[in-house]
Amino acid sequence: MTRVYVGMSGGVDSSLTAALLVEQGYDVTGVYMKNWTQDLPGMKCPWADDLADAKRVAVQLGIDFKVFDFENEYRDKVVEYMITEYKAGRTPNPDIMCNQEVKFKLFLEAALEDGADMIATGHYARVENGQLKMAADTNKDQTYFLYRVTRRALEKTLFPLGDYPKPVVREMAQARGLYTAAKKDSQGICFVGKVGIREFLSQYVEQQPGAIIDVQSGKKLGVHDGAIFYTLGQRHGLDLGGGLPYYVVGKDMDKNEVYVTTDLNDKSLWKSDVELHSVHWIGEEPRAGTYAKRIRHRAPIVKAELEVVGDKASLKVVDQQRAVASGQSIVLYDGDVCIGGGIVL
């Protein structure tokens, strides 16, 4: 019997994942990954409640349950990476780094060493012959967050939810009477629950007031509390009063200045040519040609011309896309197969 360790976060997706694998005849062990336990001012970290919920579901299903403590590694590989990138003025994605370094590396290695044959998670994605494919529910598809996972890891991974729409997943959980069936999906930063990026970064970075400048007139429009807290294309949180909305079109980290405009056609907001570094390909390096690309989770998929040179790649798109920020990931597809991607220079 194939022994599968399921990453159980205490949410409905991973709970149903475990239940389906039990029904399919696998020898299932639930594992809670303890990645972050630190409370923040005004916000209690939900890890203890999530752990309790995961345990309850494991008891319901009659499966073994373990806790893997990755907190130190998580802080080094994911949290420090995120803080460093924001300090440099870039826009990182901690969920992608978590999948690369923790769930499909640390967790996979620890599970195999502990006797598992495979791992499983509640991600909305599919694996076929070592290829990462989009979920049937394209609105919920999470392959964007998984593009840096290795083919070796994918060959050892099951994604039981890949064929189901999210509403159906809730119905299936309710039909099985799972304790977490009605639990709301987590929001905010992947590891701190409902806390937003600004609130989290404020614990590690001193607020430094600086000028908000209109790029068209050069006039100072207001004051911000730190350029680190703003990202390209941002509209909310500028507090510049009435009239047309302003959008962030750039920032100078050395001068601590944020540049804005009311012109949605400002060239700083749009890119047709994008350079990527730290590219990662799940299979063989793709040939130059036309592929589909996604600049963020749930962003529309558009066609782009790809050229790869070493660990860098260049992309040209016919239709420009708004707010392509340095540090964010662009993920590429060949049909419904996620082939990999890279990080915007």
Q: Among all residues, which ones are annotated catalytic?
A: 98, 190
Instruction: Measure CA 175 to chain center.
Output: 29
Taking the CA atoms of residue 53, residue 203, residue 278 and residue 271 in that order, the dihedral angle to the nearest 10 degrees is 110
Closest CA relative to residue 139, chosen from 274, 331, 301: 301
Mind giving me the DSSP string for 39-90? -BTTB--THHHHHHHHHHHHHHHT-EEEEEE-HHHHIIIIIHHHHHHHHTT-
Instruction: Measure CA 155 to chain center.
Output: 21
Render the burial of 190-211: b for 16+ CB within 10 Å, e for the rest.
bbbbebebebbbbeeeeeeebb
Cβ atoms of 145 and 297 closer than 8 Å: yes
Helix orientation angle between 12-23 and 166-175, rounded to the nearest 10 degrees: 60
Find residue 7's DSSP bridge partners: 31
Contacts of range 124-128, beta carbons closer than 8 Å, 24 or more positions apart: 124/13, 124/159, 124/161, 124/162, 124/166, 125/159, 125/162, 125/338, 126/159, 126/162, 126/163, 127/154, 127/155, 127/157, 127/158, 127/159, 127/162
What distance in Å separates the CA atoms of residue 276 and residue 344, rounded to the nearest whole number? 5
